Amino acid sequence: MEDLNLRKLRLIEFILAEHEEESIRKLEKAAYRIAYDEDSKTKIIGFRPNGVAVIKSDFLDGITQSLKEVTTGEYISLEELEKRSENW
């Protein structure tokens, strides 16, 4: 396995040799996405009532899952929830 610093230098050389605007734009987008993903894994965006931290990536995963459930019809309406709650 190559030394990490050597790999970094080769990556820098690759970027410096690139002259196409679109290629640079794609490289920037990839770099920003990596930074965003790393930030999302550790960034605390709030706390639950029990004091447990809410991590950004977990929150976004929950939203993604909820959207998938809605698009596939895996949900109940407010009216259905109200009917079910009458029997609790």
Query: Model confidence over 12-68: pLDDT tens digits?
Result: 999 999 999 999 999 999 988 888 888 888 889 999 999 999 999 899 899 999 999
pLDDT for res 40: 83
> Given the structure tokens 């998938």, which residue do they identify?
68
pLDDT for res 35: 84
pLDDT for res 1: 58
- Tell me the CB-side half-sphere exposure of residue 17, using CA atoms within 13 A: 6
Give the residue-averaged pLDDT of 5-11.
Answer: 92
Q: Domain map of the chain by residue range?
A: 1-42, 44-88
What secondary structure letter does DSSP report for 16? H
* H/E element, 47: strand 44-47
DSSP secondary structure letters along 21-39: HHHHHHHHHHHHHHHHHHH
pLDDT for res 66: 93
Rounded Cα distance between 48 and 54, Å, is 7
